[in-house]
């Protein structure tokens, strides 16, 4: 062998050593390392372990376990073996429900005898349950595997048999409010998952709880009052699932008192009249609160006392006295906290005429919009009929008409003091200037004032013209606006009480309007209308003619009812004013007078141009018409300007003498001064021939 060849050759002893080492490594290799996946505590206190199967050759699994030490090193591990093809097994303990265990897993071989390495131990999820107060559970547990991304589902049971899920967590604690448990145990367990894969279940933790959690408030919707006068409460049930009933409380001035308790219902009619705190909703406003009650007697009170949560009844009062018992005025309080809000109040009325049988369907007679006012008022415009029955109530309505609240029914029996007598007795023209209305009424204390109605056309169009006080059984009402020389008038009077309501009405009367027509040839015609108001008591009419205020001979003339025309063919007007008027006569001698009319024409004086003493025209005097006699002067002069005759008597004349001696024949001058009824003064001059 040369030097180079010996240098490249591998020593045989090295090759032999390497082969021996390879054989030894293969013969004595350590079993594969398994992974313990989960530990699940069973109801009997044992533990079910599960694992994965590693690649490699081994004869079985050996699981080491012990009670988890609080302080290391702790007690020694126990072990139990499983076949090589097992993927889970039971750890033979019985106290895993009360103790926390830890475990790790190895594989082993029998020949040669060897065990594998192992991963860090994992532990059971030991669950501990504590109380916060008496009604909240605090759950704490241990992670099964440190560093793992574990999720947890929490379950609850009341019998430790049937569990329901109550929550999820990614942490190792959980709080839960206990509802419906009253000094009884509640059981909990926790399931562990990693990436959605189940890993195991904790032990069962339990504690005795007393539910002290308030249930959720019910939603008080509205109160109404039924036709029998009882309050009806309505609400939406509490959303808490352990509610078994509801408490009804009533406000008593300064506090709410427990009125009654009802079952799991949502409507209650308050007929608990024997309760110490019962209030009649027809006598006063009643304010209610509703609380939910759970299995343990806890009551809700989150917002039930809030000003926006309480509800009250509507108290209706109807007053007729302020309206003299002839109209009804309604007053009521605001309804609070209906949802949606109240937008208006409907006023309802039933009218039951005397002698009719109830029921009568109520009808709406008015509406009032809601506002922030604490009280509302409405007056029924209809006059109440004595002896009839009226029933009023008010309905509060919200914006979408989903709820409404009614007040009590309020009965009204109007009984105003009656007017014993009231009527017009007469209407008559007074002094040719205005019309006097004569009225009577009893009792005078009840009649506050009288309203006068008048029409110049017909009885159907009477209009109010004045009001006048009333203070005695018999009253004269001067109607000074009447145009008595232009038309007749229809009249009616109405009695008003102190509230201004009509309590009585008179018959309709019509005054007399007289007209005069000049028919020519010295005759006139009188027309007048029929007097109305006395009915069959009208006896007839008297026609009067006067001369300067004195009755003319042959007058008055009488005519029966229905005669409304009179022709005077020879009025024989003298120097004064001729006046006509009519009087209607009642059977008790009461009269109603018309306006006055006068002979037509201007003031006029007619003079003869000659006279002969002792002859047919023996006295020289004027013939006067429509003159005012008080302003009359008649003077006669001779040719020398001497006064031979003078008088202020329109009926006087000159007999042709002077101082008892006959005057000479001849022409004499005269002057006459007079005035008409319009106040215009006239002077007339002329001459007359005295013939002997």
- Domain ranges for the chain, please list them: 35-123, 128-210, 219-312, 316-412, 421-510, 514-598, 604-690
Q: Closest by alpha carbon to 502, among 562, 412, 441?
A: 441
Which tokens belong to 42? 């069973």
| High-pLDDT (> 70) share of the chain, % | 95
Indicate the CATH number of 514-598 among 2.60.40.10, 3.40.50.300, 3.40.50.150, 3.40.50.170.
2.60.40.10
Query: What is the arithmetic mean of pLDDT over 375-388?
Result: 94
- Do 604-690 and 219-312 have the same topology in CATH? yes
* Cα–Cα distance measured from residue 483 to residue 447, given in angstroms and rounded to the nearest whole number: 29
The yes-or-no verdict on residue 175 having pLDDT over 60 is: yes
Answer for the pair 359, 350: CB distance below 8 angstroms, yes or no: yes
Query: If one looks up domain 35-123 in CATH, what number appears?
Result: 2.60.40.10
Answer for the pair 131, 181: CB distance below 8 angstroms, yes or no: no
Query: If one looks up domain 421-510 in CATH, what number appears?
Result: 2.60.40.10
Is the pTM value of this prediction over 0.85?
Answer: no
* Model pLDDT for residues 70-112, shown as the tens digit of each residue: 898 999 999 999 999 999 999 999 999 999 999 999 999 999 9
* Cα–Cα distance measured from residue 47 to residue 65, given in angstroms and rounded to the nearest whole number: 10
Largest CA distance in the chain: 231
Answer for the pair 37, 50: CB distance below 8 angstroms, yes or no: yes
From residue 177, alpha-carbon distances to 37, 155, 166, 216 in Å are 33, 13, 10, 13
The yes-or-no verdict on residue 569 having pLDDT over 90 is: no
The fourth-level CATH superfamily of domain 219-312 is Immunoglobulins (2.60.40.10)
From residue 562, alpha-carbon distances to 83, 250, 538 in Å are 143, 79, 10
* Model pLDDT for residues 465-475, shown as the tens digit of each residue: 999 999 899 99
* Cα–Cα distance measured from residue 175 to residue 183, given in angstroms and rounded to the nearest whole number: 18
Banded pLDDT at 19 (limits 50, 70, 90): very low
- Inter-residue long-range contacts of 371-375, CB under 8 Å, 24+ positions, other chains counted: 372/334, 373/334, 374/333, 374/334, 375/331, 375/332, 375/333, 375/334
User: What are the residue ranges of helices labelled H in 290-344?
Assistant: none
The three-state (H, E, C) secondary structure of 34-100, written as one string: CEEEEEEECCCCCEEEEEECCCCCCCEEEEEEEECCCCCCCCCCEEEEEECCCCEEEECCCCCCCCC
Predicted local distance difference test score (pLDDT) of residue 571: 66
User: In angstroms, how far is the first alpha carbon of the chain from the final one?
Assistant: 231
* Cα–Cα distance measured from residue 71 to residue 75, given in angstroms and rounded to the nearest whole number: 10
604-690: in CATH 1.10.520.20: no
Predicted local distance difference test score (pLDDT) of residue 519: 85
Predicted local distance difference test score (pLDDT) of residue 12: 54
* Cα–Cα distance measured from residue 651 to residue 604, given in angstroms and rounded to the nearest whole number: 14
The yes-or-no verdict on residue 15 having pLDDT over 50 is: no
What mean pLDDT, rounded, does the chain reach? 92
Q: For domain 128-210, give the fold.
A: Immunoglobulin-like (2.60.40)
Predicted local distance difference test score (pLDDT) of residue 578: 86
Strand order of the β-sheet with 434-442 is 421-430, 434-442, 474-479
The yes-or-no verdict on residue 24 having pLDDT over 50 is: no
Query: What is the arithmetic mean of pLDDT over 154-160?
Result: 96
Query: What is the arithmetic mean of pLDDT over 684-689?
Result: 94
* Model pLDDT for residues 648-675, shown as the tens digit of each residue: 988 899 999 999 899 999 999 999 999 8
Answer for the pair 534, 588: CB distance below 8 angstroms, yes or no: no
Query: What is the arithmetic mean of pLDDT over 497-526?
Result: 92
Query: If one looks up domain 316-412 in CATH, what number appears?
Result: 2.60.40.10
């Amino acid at each position: 062998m040369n030097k180079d060849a010996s240098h490249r050759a591998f020593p045989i002893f090295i090759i032999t050593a390497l082969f021996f080492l390879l054989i030894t490594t293969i013969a004595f290799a350590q079993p594969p390392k398994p992974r313990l996946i989960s530990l699940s505590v069973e109801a009997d206190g044992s533990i079910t372990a599960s694992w994965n199967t590693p690649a490699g050759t081994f004869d079985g699994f050996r699981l080491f376990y012990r009670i988890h030490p609080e302080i290391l090193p702790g007690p020694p591990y126990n072990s139990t073996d499983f076949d090589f093809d097992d993927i889970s097994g039971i750890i033979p303990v019985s106290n895993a429900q009360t103790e926390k265990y830890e475990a790790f897993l190895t594989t082993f071989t029998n020949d040669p005898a060897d065990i594998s390495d192992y991963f860090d131990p994992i532990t059971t999820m030991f669950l501990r349950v504590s109380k916060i107060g008496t009604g909240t559970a605090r759950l704490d547990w241990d992670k099964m595997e440190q560093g793992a991304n574990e999720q947890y589902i929490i379950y609850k049971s009341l019998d430790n048999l049937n569990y329901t899920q109550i929550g999820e967590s990614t942490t190792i604690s959980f709080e839960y409010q206990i509802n419906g448990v009253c000094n009884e145990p509640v059981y909990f367990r926790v399931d562990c998952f990693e990436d959605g894969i189940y890993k195991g279940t904790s032990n069962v933790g339990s504690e005795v709880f007393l539910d002290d959690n308030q249930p959720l408030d019910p939603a008080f919707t509205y109160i109404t009052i039924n036709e029998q006068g009882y309050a009806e409460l309505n609400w939406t049930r509490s959303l808490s699932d352990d509610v078994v009933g509801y408490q009804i409380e009533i406000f008593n001035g300064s506090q709410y008192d427990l009125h009654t308790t009802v079952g799991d219902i949502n409507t209650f009619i308050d007929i608990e009249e024997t309760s110490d705190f019962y209030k009649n909703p027809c006598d006063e406003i009643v304010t209610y609160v509703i609380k939910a009650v759970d299995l343990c007697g806890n009551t809700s009170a989150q917002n039930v006392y809030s000003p926006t949560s309480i509800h009250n009844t509507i108290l209706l009062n109807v007053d007729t006295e302020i309206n003299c018992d002839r109209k009804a005025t309604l007053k009521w309080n605001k309804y609070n906290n209906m949802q949606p809000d109240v937008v208006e109040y409907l006023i309802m009325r039933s009218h039951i005429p005397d002698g009719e049988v109830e029921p009568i369907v109520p009808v709406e007679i008015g509406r009032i919009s809601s506002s922030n006012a604490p009280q509302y008022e409405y007056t029924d415009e209809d006059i109440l009929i004595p002896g009839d029955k009226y029933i009023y109530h008010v309905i509060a309505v919200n914006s979408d008409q989903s709820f409404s609240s009614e007040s009590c029914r309020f009965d009204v029996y109007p009984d105003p003091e009656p007017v014993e007598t009231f009527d017009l007795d007469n209407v008559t023209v007074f002094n040719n200037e205005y019309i006097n209305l004569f009225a009577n009424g009893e009792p005078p204390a009840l009649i506050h004032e009288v309203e006068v109605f008048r029409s110049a056309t017909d009885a159907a169009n009477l209009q109010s013209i004045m009001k006048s006080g009333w203070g005695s059984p018999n009253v004269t009402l001067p109607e000074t606006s009447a145009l008595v020389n232009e038309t007749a008038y229809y009249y009616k009077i109405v009695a008003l009480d102190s509230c201004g309501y009509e309590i009585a009405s008179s018959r309709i009367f019509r005054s007399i309007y007289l007209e005069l027509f000049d028919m020519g040839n010295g005759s006139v015609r009188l027309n007048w209308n029929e007097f109305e108001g006395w009915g069959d008591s009208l006896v007839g009419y008297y026609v009067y003619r006067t001369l300067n205020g004195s009755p003319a001979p042959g007058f008055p003339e009488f005519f029966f009812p229905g005669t409304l025309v009179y022709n005077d063919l020879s009025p024989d007007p003298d120097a004064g004013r001729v006046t006509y008027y009519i009087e209607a006569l009642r059977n008790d001698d009461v009269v109603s007078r018309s306006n006055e009319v006068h002979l037509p024409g201007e003031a006029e004086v007619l003079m003869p141009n000659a006279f002969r003493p002792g002859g047919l025209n023996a006295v020289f005097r004027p013939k006067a018409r429509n003159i005012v006699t008080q302003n009359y002067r008649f003077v006669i002069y001779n040719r020398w300007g001497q006064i031979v005759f003078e008088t202020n008597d329109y009926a006087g004349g000159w007999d042709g003498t002077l101082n008892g001696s006959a005057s000479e024949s001849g022409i004499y001058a005269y002057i006459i001064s007079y005035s008409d009824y319009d106040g215009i003064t006239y002077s007339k001059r002329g001459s007359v021939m005295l013939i002997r």
